[in-house]
């Protein structure tokens, strides 16, 4: 059992190295260095789902779940902006019910900007961006009603979800919508996997906005994150190797030095 009220020097260095790497890659990417991001299957499905809505001439729905303004919301907004641009381009109606008021106002602005960027500011319908309720199941009940009444062709779930995830995704399935979902909430991913057509799992959520926007800041950050994960991975490999060493050659490995450094 380990107690951390304030970090030891190694923990501080670990944080600093990972942080500095991320900031460093962001800055190099901004200076114009080309970076690579692998294909993320679920994200290409967004275009497919938009295409289907165009064919059917029915609206699409985007939900953030119970998300409030914060770290996770920034990513969701980037994806929303991508979807809104496509909606403007192909003339699809985009409905966005929101459960948080500050986020509601920002979402409205993001969508409006996307329509303007596509040269169709007149097609933007502010009444389609709605604040429903900040109460979990009241919000869920409201979105369920919307899906039924508007006969949506596609539904996108990007944000933070709790128990309402399956209530919404299963309703979308019943009304016959193509659904794409992504959330960093690990406990809700299985429900999206069973009830939606494409699910972006775990960390892919954070990679998503970089993949879609190709914005240098996000691309750089993604590369930095990979290096950060690599650092953690190497630490785990070393720690495990030392643990084996302690087991097999106790005369040489008096203790697990990796663990010692980390404060264990």
- Binding to other proteins (CB under 8 A) within 32-91 occurs at 35-38, 40, 48, 52, 55-56, 69-72, 74-75, 77-78, 81
CA atoms of 39 and 37, how far apart (whole Å): 7
* Region 96-115 residues binding other proteins, contact defined as CB under 8 A: 100-102, 104-106, 109-110, 113
Instruction: Determine the Cα angle at 176 with ends 175 and 182, to 5°.
Output: 100
Please list, in sequence order, all residues whose beta carbon lies within 8 angstroms of the beta carbon of residue 48, skipping any fewer than 6 positions away.
178
Closest CA to 157 of 180, 137, 131: 180
Instruction: Name the β-bridge partners of 70.
Output: none
Size of the site for other proteins (CB under 8 A): 118
CA gap 159, 199 in Å, rounded: 12
Specify the residue, 91 or 102, whose C-beta has the smaller distance to other proteins.
Answer: 102
Angle at 223 between CA 218 and CA 227, to 5 degrees: 140
Alpha helical stretches, state H, 175-215:
189-195, 204-213
Task: State the DSSP code for 1.
Answer: -
Q: Which of residues 228-257 bind other proteins (CB under 8 A)?
A: 228-230, 232-233, 235-237, 239-240, 242-244, 246-248, 256
Least separation in angstroms between residue 89's CB and other proteins is: 19
Residue 223 Cβ vs other proteins, minimum distance, rounded to whole Å: 5
Report 119-158 residues binding other proteins (CB under 8 A).
Answer: 130-138, 140-142, 144-145, 148-149
Query: Closest separation between CB of residue 26 and other proteins, Å?
Result: 6
- Give the residue with the Cβ less far from other proteins, 18 or 87: 18
Give me the 177-216 binding string for other proteins, x by CB under 8 A, dash otherwise. -x-----x-xx-xxx-xxx-x---xxxxxxx--xx---x-
């Amino acid at each position: 059992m380990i107690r951390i009220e304030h970090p030891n020097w190694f923990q501080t260095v670990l944080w600093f190295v990972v942080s500095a790497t991320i900031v460093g890659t962001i800055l190099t990417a901004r200076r114009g260095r080309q970076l690579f991001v692998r294909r993320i299957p679920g994200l290409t499905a967004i275009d497919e789902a938009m295409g289907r809505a165009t064919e059917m001439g029915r609206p699409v729905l985007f939900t953030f779940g119970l998300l409030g303004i914060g770290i996770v919301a920034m990513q969701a907004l980037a994806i929303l902006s991508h979807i809104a641009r496509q909606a403007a381009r192909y003339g699809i109606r985009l409905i966005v019910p929101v459960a948080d008021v500050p986020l509601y106002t920002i979402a409205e602005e993001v969508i409006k900007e996307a329509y303007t960027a596509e040269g169709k500011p007149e097609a933007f319908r502010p009444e389609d961006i709605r604040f429903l309720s900040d109460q979990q199941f009241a919000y869920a009940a409201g979105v369920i009603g919307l899906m039924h009444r508007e006969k949506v062709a596609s539904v996108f779930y990007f944000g933070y979800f709790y128990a309402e995830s399956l209530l919404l995704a299963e309703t979308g399935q019943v009304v016959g919508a193509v659904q794409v979902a992504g959330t960093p909430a690990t406990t809700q991913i299985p429900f999206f996997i069973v009830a939606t057509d494409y699910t972006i799992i775990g960390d892919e959520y954070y990679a998503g906005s970089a993949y879609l926007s190709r914005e240098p800041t996000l691309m750089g950050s993604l590369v930095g994150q990979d290096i950060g994960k690599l650092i953690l991975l190497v630490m785990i490999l070393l720690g495990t190797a030392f643990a084996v060493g302690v087991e097999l050659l106790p005369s040489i490995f008096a203790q697990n030095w990796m663990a010692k450094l980390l404060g264990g």
